[in-house]
Amino acid sequence: MNVTGNQALLKDYQVYLRVEKGLRPLTCEAYLCDLRTFSEFLESRHGVLLSAAQQDVSAFLEHLRTHNIDSRTAARKLSCLRGFYKWLLLDRRIHHDPTVNIDSPKSWKVLPKSLAEPEVNEMLERAALAASHPQARATAFRDRAILELLYAGGLRVSEIVGLSTSDLSLDAGRVQVLGKGDKERIIPIGAVAIEAIEKYLAEGRPHLARIQTRRTNKPADSARLFLSLRGMPLTRQWVWHLVKAANNNASPHMLRHSCATHMVEHGADLRSVQMMLGHADISTTQVYTHLALGRLKAVHRLHHPRATRRIPEPAAPDTTTQPSSDSLEETA
């Protein structure tokens, strides 16, 4: 198989990921990007994807290490290769998986970065103030609703730009989200986020939709919740810039981490946080364990009967030498 054959193989795998695995286009592209990197490495060694051997995979990982690729990224690329060669094996295109017995690069658990509660409150209060101005624009209502929803529900940026008006159940205080792998989940939201969304639906979104109609004589997207100034669906990059403008140290994913962090700090259990964030595996949510342990220690100190009371030291034995009866008799 030549280079053209590699490209055809990757195209087949892309169809498999999209159709059979149900992965999003961006996720599929991320996998293909890692596979193209490995394919280019093989070409430099005069190899191809179908004939890759175990030593090729080991050499690829060593190549990444020598080029200062961190262990987390290398581990992700190896995981991608494992999935690809498992598919080839099941499809009977190869007879041996070259990733077998290859150890994943060890990496440190990186704690997710989050904002302190005062930082988030300040950012959201500024957005609320802008939306409450007598001459507030439609975009101010929209921007506040997006920021409140990102923090209230811990949504991914791709999830929030994909929301439709039909996904809202504001009377019930919840939003239906389509997450990774096209998995749906229900997210509860609080009164402040509900109020911001209702204000946007009443005074923001209709104005943005009318702008699109006047400019193009075509109705705006009637389904998508958040619209641009042109009445079009927002992009992930646009939401990223919105959050950055609200707080230069923040990002949409940092607001997601902040939501989870603050919930755990206030007593939420990890299983509930897992369901809310849409993590397929509880191990992903366990990065917040350090917060839960901190609260557990505080609860232990507060409620355990022997957590704070110091146990008195046992009395020291009397080491004073007492004269024996024999010595007394001798003295007498």
Q: Which residues are catalytic?
A: 156, 180, 253, 256, 279, 288
Distance in angstroms (rounded) separating the CA atoms of residues 93 and 86:
10
Starting from the edge strand earliest in sequence, which strands make up the sheet with 184-188, in order?
Answer: 168-169, 174-178, 184-188
Q: Is 120 helix (H, G, I), strand (E, B) or coil?
A: helix
Provide the Cα torsion 206, 146, 23, 49; round to 10°: 120
Strand partners, 177: 185
Give the single-character DSSP code of 172: G
Q: How far apart are CA 106 and CA 111, in angstroms?
A: 16
Outline where 252-305 has alpha helix (H): 252-265, 270-277, 282-285, 289-303
CA distance 257 to 252: 9
Q: To 10 degrees, the CA torsion angle through 48, 53, 58, 64? A: 10
CA distance 187 to 177: 7
What is d(CA 50, CA 142) in angstroms, rounded to the nearest whole number?
50
Q: Give the DSSP H/E element, type plus range, for residue 178.
A: strand 174-178
Of 157, 143, 144, 152, whose CA–CA distance to 175 is shortest? 152
Tokens of 116: 């302190």
Q: Which residue has the tokens 């080991």?
A: 58
Integer CA distances (angstroms), 262 to 4, 121, 157, in order: 50, 12, 19
Contact 84, 14 (CB under 8 A): no
